[in-house]
Chain A
């Protein structure tokens, strides 16, 4: 593109990312605190409670088995939570997305800046979580260092389609459907709390859930085991879901902003 734009500094994608970070810099304490408190609560409840009954699973102590699941679901829940009311509101109530689009920022920049911000959030949440649980001896393998990477991929694979959904609907009552029929079932049946093999034939339902692939990769990393599918297959599904979500979100943003 020609024009005087090139001489200026901030890339529009980065400018969008920065807008979210301005807000995060004000709110990060609360957010880091909850990433910090959550694993402690979990470990207390499982270590003292459930774990006593379950003992070990697939040859590892239940606490060590469940930690990577909770880790992945932290990123998953953050991505879903952030991508609902805020996204719809920026089109429908505050129209701040319209304001952003009236500048040099393109729809691609808006999506990239937004997802980049969520990746940073997801990685911070997971890193804080790991910094806590590492002291409980539940991270068995140095591959655990790869979990933030998995969290980043899972964040994008979750946030992209949920953002697209939020940008497509006209009323926030649809979020209740999303929470009840997508997010809660996904959290319960994606191998976070028990192996999907226990669901018999129903386990194929987990295969379409990005969370299951995220959990599988996180668990493989923290326990130093082989994942159920080859790593490239899990990662491939996450990339495919992210790409489909991206495509859908671009279309939804276009319809909203260019009408």
Chain B
């Protein structure tokens, strides 16, 4: 099957600064695909190229099998885009934001009204229909921006940090809605800083850092490849942590000191804890847990001090 997103050596430069530094991507129809990465990694720059608004500086990019430079409007007609920063129309009401956006996609007036009603329901903003956008809370604006992205029944939905600023209830509701879209065969591409979101929603992820892709795989696969099954978190009161690192050498597979705690990556957490005690160390708290994407992320993006 032809990939919906195909990129080879994709580059984005701003002046002399390279924000996206030659990435390869393929996203298949029906997939849920995620970008992880620290601030400034180049996730939004990549998303903006995929949404066919920002033009690539170099490399090859095909979206829905077509060329974004020459066929921008025809491709964008079939995309749903939620940018990182809300760009709602402040001159219009909540309702008009949806209906005018529907008209940009060519829906008839009646169809636009029907769709707006349905999406207000989706965003739980029905009672705000006639309000202007400005007085809405941050989370409500976010929900409206996401709803607006669905107005043309897109085949490919691009969400840049969709749930930033949403309360937990709204987040879970959105996850459920996105999951339903996925069941209907819609392809989802999203960026997030929430590892639980990435684990919940994405079939496949890439981790970006400094404009490059540093890892790729399913959440489970990434954990297997870049972390150990279990992680031990050790805290030592207010003492300087660096001094403990040499004394923990060889416990488990890897030792990562963070500013507030030390992480031990191990196949068997309890066994590692026993070893810590055998070495005469007395941490103020010990927590054994399963490895998560967060650990992969910390490891890959250099948030750790020692590798």
Contact A3 B78 (CB under 8 A): yes
Mask for B70-114, Cβ within 8 A of A = 1, else 0? 011110111101010101111110001000110111111000000
> CA–CA, A106 to B96, complex, Å?
21
Q: Give the shortest distance, in Å, between B218 (CB) and chain A (any CB).
A: 29
Interface residues of B: mostly helix, strand, loop or mixed? loop
Question: In the complex, what residues of A have CB within 8 A of residue B51's CB?
Answer: 102
Q: Is the CB of A16 within 8 A of B104?
A: yes
Across the interface, do B87 and A99 meet the contact criterion of CB distance under 8 Å? yes
Check: B17 CB closer than 8 A to any chain A CB.
no
B74 touches A99 (CB 8 A): no
| B76, B81, B100, B148: the one within 8 Å of A15 (CB) | B100
| Across-interface contacts of A95 in B (CB, < 8 A) | 83, 85, 87
Given A9-B108, A15-B106, A94-B90, A1-B74 contact (CB < 8 Å): yes
Which residues of the other chain, B, contact A30 by a CB distance below 8 angstroms?
Answer: none
- Total of A-B residue pairs, C-beta within 8 Å: 97
Which of A18, A23, A96 is the most central at the interface, judged by chain B CB atoms within 10 Å of its CB? A96
Q: Counting chain B CB atoms within 10 Å of each CB, which of A1, A94, A104 scores highest?
A: A104
Report the separation of the CA atoms of residues A96 and B87 in the bound assembly, to the nearest whole angstrom: 5
Q: Quick check: A96 and B88 within 8 Å, CB to CB?
A: yes
Known: A22-B92, A98-B87. A104 touches B103 (CB 8 A): no
- The answer to whether A23 and B91 have CB atoms under 8 Å apart is yes
Across the interface, B53 reaches (CB within 8 A) one of A4, A94, A96, A102, namely A102
Q: Chain A nearest CB: distance from B152 CB in Å?
A: 8
Of the candidates A9, A100, A104, A258, the one whose C-beta lies within 8 Å of that of B77 is A104
Docked-complex contact B90 and A104, CB < 8 angstroms: no
Q: How far is the CA of A85 from the CA of B287 in the complex (A)?
A: 57
Indicate if the CB atoms of B106 and A5 lie closer than 8 Å: yes
Q: Which residues of B contact A99 (CB under 8 A)?
A: 83, 87-89, 101, 148
Of A16, A18, A102, chain B has the most CB atoms within 10 Å of the CB of: A102
Q: Which residue of A8, A16, A106, A259 contacts B108 across the interface (Cβ within 8 Å)?
A: A8
Most B-side CB within 10 Å, residue of A10, A15, A99, A109: A99
Q: How far is the CB of A129 from chain B (nearest CB, A)?
A: 26
Q: Name the interface size band of chain A.
A: 20 to 34
Given contacts A98-B87, A101-B53, contact A10 B107 (CB under 8 A): yes
Tell me, in angstroms, the Cα distance from A22 to B103 when the chains sit together. 12
Residues of B within 8 Å of A257, CB to CB, are 53
One of B54, B89, B100 near A94 (C-beta < 8 A):
B89
Q: Are B77 and A5 in contact (CB under 8 A)?
A: yes
A2 at interface (Cβ–Cβ under 8 A)? yes
Partner of B100, one of A2, A19, A109: A19
**B87 contacts across to A, CB distance below 8 A:** 94-96, 98-99
CA distance A104 to B152 in the complex (A): 10
Tell me, rounded to whole Å, the shortest Cβ–Cβ distance linking A49 to chain B: 39
What is the bound-complex CA distance between A99 and B89, given in angstroms? Answer: 8
Q: How far is the CA of A10 from the CA of B54 in the complex (A)?
A: 25
- Shortest beta-carbon distance from A156 to chain B in Å: 22
| A198: Cβ under 8 A from any B Cβ | no
User: A18–B100 contact, CB under 8 A?
Assistant: yes
Residue from B73, B79, B96 in contact with A105 in the complex, judged by beta carbons closer than 8 Å: B73
Q: Are B71 and A1 in contact (CB under 8 A)?
A: yes
Select from chain B the residue with minimum beta-carbon distance to A105.
B104
Known contacts A96-B89, A98-B87, A104-B77, A15 near B71 by CB under 8 Å: no
The verdict on A173 contacting chain B, using a C-beta distance below 8 Å, is no
Seed contacts A12-B106, A96-B89, A259-B14; 13 additional CB < 8 Å A-B pairs: A8-B106, A8-B108, A94-B89, A95-B85, A96-B88, A99-B87, A100-B104, A102-B53, A103-B152, A104-B77, A104-B106, A106-B72, A258-B54
14 contacts between A and B (CB under 8 A): A4-B78, A19-B89, A19-B104, A94-B89, A96-B91, A98-B87, A99-B148, A102-B53, A103-B104, A104-B74, A104-B76, A104-B77, A258-B53, A258-B55
- 8 smallest A-B Cβ distances: which pairs? A8-B106, A95-B87, A104-B77, A15-B103, A103-B104, A99-B87, A9-B108, A96-B89
